[in-house]
């Protein structure tokens, strides 16, 4: 059992390619904690050996991937919300929550060696994660034995860090220079596997998200794939063989491509070598060739960025700062595109890889300061600085219910996308037949008019209605988004004026029993 009243407060960026843990400090700042290899970034890779009940997480797992690809899981975040990870691991179907929990446990374990007991954590999620993926992230935390005090959107965490982190403690008190009292910032976050853009307005103690959008499957990995495809094409052209047909070679080429991509952020050209089936290929890739190969990817991010600024009802000239988050923003093409689009030089003054975890730790501190927790020994000044900070979010998807219109099932939207949270909306349903004691409603996230084109969150089941209701009796269903984007439901039997039982049954979501079972599995593993 977790003793949630004691121990350190941490923020965790559970990333597609790397994960980072940061500690909230008594002086109101946040500090990244290095893993036992001495590195702040832990690759989000898991190697499992079920015969010895051992898991390797991080660099060791990445190294094992070349020789034993069937025992390694990578890019798990892309599968969050699905019932299973996209490949078998050790011949076994694994839940993405469990694999993520193994990563989280490793972060916790390494952190504890440096800072002592660590239970309470804020975990970050991309702003456009739907309710299913948010729940999966929280469940992963529970399986890892963490007390997940909140989840927070990655761009919001980044904005918090940019605003509150002391850059030069001697001269700068960590307070952003806010022209006219407010500052509007665009947070462009391109990580390893996900992309999002958010417009935030920072007041001195208020963080307001104006609009957000993104793509679950767009990130640095897609840029790597462009190099991989290029090498495979050239190899095929010279030798008539596709090196990607060999699974181990494929992993090796991916690893090499990622390294070369990073080098291209610094150098104008890099040599690439590829060996396969006794043949070899040597070529040179220039930065401009690479930019040409990945032009469509960059254009996608530009389109989303433009859309989000429009959704915030702003023009480019009203954006004061462009904040860079995520390792992939180190690519010069990203900075150049943003500079041209916004007319501003993007701000990369904080470490793009660590800023999200630090912001999450600050959020944990804000929550604790607000609750005035006795256990948290905060310096007076820090408590004053954080106590009144208010973070306001918006929802990335419209929330609706399935409704019949003629012979079609449509999406009846109750809460529009980009509404400030928390927010609730109601709709009246009528029971079909006299004597029915339950009502079922499908809950949808998305904007598409047709019900089936949206994300089905689950079925909202209203049960325990009195047995004698006449046909067409009204039942009011109230759906709400909490501040952290999670959905909940309430129902009112309007005939009796009494609350009815209401619950959202998620199709692939984990039950408490599932969580206990996976928790036991993870606890039994030796994680290194």
Tell me which residues touch ligand AMP (CB under 6 A): 15-18, 191-192, 220-221, 258, 261-262, 265, 326-328, 330-331, 353
Place of tokens 């019949």: 404
Name which of 80 and 451 has its Cβ closer to ligand AMP: 80
Q: Which of 379, 381, 392, 345 is nearest to 203 (CA)?
A: 392
What do you get for the CA distance between the two ends of the chain, in Å?
Answer: 22
Name which of 142 and 221 has its Cβ closer to ligand AMP: 221
DSSP string computed for 83-137: SS-SS-BTTB---HHHHHHHHHHHHHHHHHHHH--EEEEEEEE-TT--HHHHHHH
Name which of 126 and 458 has its Cβ closer to ligand AMP: 126
**Torsion of the alpha carbons at 253, 254, 259 and 264, rounded to the nearest 10:** 90
Minimum Å gap between C-beta 256 and ligand AMP is 12
Minimum Å gap between C-beta 482 and ligand AMP is 26
Name which of 129 and 429 has its Cβ closer to ligand AMP: 129
Residue 268 neighbours by CB distance under 10 Å: 8
Minimum Å gap between C-beta 107 and ligand AMP is 14
Minimum Å gap between C-beta 157 and ligand AMP is 12
Minimum Å gap between C-beta 16 and ligand AMP is 6
Half-sphere exposure of 162 (CA within 13 A, CB side): 29
Minimum Å gap between C-beta 335 and ligand AMP is 11
Minimum Å gap between C-beta 41 and ligand AMP is 6
Minimum Å gap between C-beta 179 and ligand AMP is 29
Name which of 353 and 518 has its Cβ closer to ligand AMP: 353
Residues in the chain: 528
Cβ proximity of 428 and 476 under 8 Å: yes
Name which of 23 and 329 has its Cβ closer to ligand AMP: 329
**CA angle, 286 then 291 then 292, to 5°:** 100
Name which of 196 and 493 has its Cβ closer to ligand AMP: 196
Name which of 151 and 227 has its Cβ closer to ligand AMP: 227
CA 91 to chain centroid, in Å, comes to 27
Rounded-to-integer distance, Cα 413 and Cα 403, Å = 10
Residue with the closest Cβ to ligand AMP?
A: 220
Rounded-to-integer distance, Cα 111 and Cα 32, Å = 10
- Residue 497's Cβ-count burial label (10 Å; 0-12, 13-18, 19+) is exposed
Cβ proximity of 365 and 386 under 8 Å: yes
Name which of 16 and 25 has its Cβ closer to ligand AMP: 16
**Torsion of the alpha carbons at 10, 11, 16 and 18, rounded to the nearest 10:** -60
Rounded-to-integer distance, Cα 257 and Cα 266, Å = 15
Name which of 212 and 480 has its Cβ closer to ligand AMP: 212
Minimum Å gap between C-beta 326 and ligand AMP is 4
DSSP string computed for 278-312: TEEEEEEEEHHHHHHHTHHHHHHHHHHHHHHHHHT
Name which of 353 and 493 has its Cβ closer to ligand AMP: 353
Minimum Å gap between C-beta 315 and ligand AMP is 29
**Reduced DSSP (H G I as helix, E B as strand, rest coil) percent helix, strand, coil of the chain, to 5:** 35, 30, 35
Minimum Å gap between C-beta 264 and ligand AMP is 7
Cβ proximity of 385 and 28 under 8 Å: yes
Cis peptide before 422 (omega within 30 of 0): yes
Name which of 156 and 454 has its Cβ closer to ligand AMP: 156
Helix, strand counts (H, E) of the chain: 12, 25
Minimum Å gap between C-beta 331 and ligand AMP is 5
């Amino acid at each position: 059992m977790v003793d949630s009243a004691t121990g350190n407060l941490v923020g965790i960026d559970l990333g597609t390619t790397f994960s980072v843990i940061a500690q909230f400090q008594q002086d109101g700042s946040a500090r990244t904690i290095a893993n036992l290899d001495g590195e702040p970034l832990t690759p989000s890779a898991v190697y499992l050996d079920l015969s010895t009940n051992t898991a390797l997480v991080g660099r060791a797992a990445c190294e094992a991937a070349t020789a034993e690809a069937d025992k390694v899981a990578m890019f798990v975040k892309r599968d969050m919300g699905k019932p299973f990870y996209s490949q078998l691991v050790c011949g076994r179907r694994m839940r993405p929550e469990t694999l993520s929990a193994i990563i989280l446990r490793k972060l916790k374990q390494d952190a504890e060696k440096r800072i002592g007991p660590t239970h309470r954590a804020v975990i970050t999620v991309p702003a456009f994660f739907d309710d299913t993926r948010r729940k999966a992230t929280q469940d992963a935390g529970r399986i890892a034995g963490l007390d997940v005090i909140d989840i927070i959107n990655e761009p919001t965490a980044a904005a918090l860090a940019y605003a509150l982190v002391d850059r030069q403690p001697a001269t700068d008190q960590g307070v952003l220079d806010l022209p006219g009292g407010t500052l509007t910032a665009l947070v462009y976050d391109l990580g390893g596997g996900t992309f999002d853009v958010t417009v935030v307005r920072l007041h001195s103690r208020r963080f307001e998200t104006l609009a957000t959008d993104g793509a679950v499957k767009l990130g640095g990995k897609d840029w790597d794939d462009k190099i991989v495809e290029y090498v495979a094409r050239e190899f095929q052209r010279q030798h008539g063989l596709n090196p990607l047909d060999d699974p181990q070679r494929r992993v090796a080429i991916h690893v090499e491509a990622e390294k070369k991509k990073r080098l291209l952020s610094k150098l104008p050209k890099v040599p690439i070598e590829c060996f396969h089936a006794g043949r070899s290929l040597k070529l040179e890739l220039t930065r401009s060739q690479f930019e040409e190969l990945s032009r469509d990817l960059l254009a996608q991010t530009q389109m989303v960025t433009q859309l989000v600024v429009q959704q915030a009802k702003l023009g480019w000239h009203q954006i004061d700062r462009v904040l860079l988050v995520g390792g992939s923003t180190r690519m010069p093409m990203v900075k150049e595109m943003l500079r041209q689009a916004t007319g501003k030089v993007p701000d990369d003054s904080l470490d793009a890889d660590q800023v999200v975890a630090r912001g999450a730790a600050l959020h944990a501190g804000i929550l604790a300061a607000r609750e005035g927790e006795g256990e948290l020994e905060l310096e007076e000044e820090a408590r004053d600085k954080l106590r009144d900070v208010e973070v306001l979010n918006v929802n990335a998807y419209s929330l609706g219910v399935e409704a019949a219109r003629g012979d079609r099932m449509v999406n009846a939207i109750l809460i529009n996308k980009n509404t400030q949270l928390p927010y609730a909306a109601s709709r009246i349903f009528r029971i079909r037949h006299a004597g029915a004691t339950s009502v079922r409603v499908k809950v949808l996230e998305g904007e598409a008019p047709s019900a089936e084109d949206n994300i089905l969150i689950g079925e909202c089941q209203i049960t325990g209605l009195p047995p004698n209701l006449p046909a067409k009796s009204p039942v009011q269903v109230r759906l709400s988004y909490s501040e952290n984007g999670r959905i909940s439901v309430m129902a009112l039997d309007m005939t009796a004026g009494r609350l009815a039982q209401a619950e959202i049954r998620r199709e692939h979501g984990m039950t408490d029993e599932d969580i206990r079972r996976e928790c036991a599995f993870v606890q039994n593993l030796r994680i290194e």
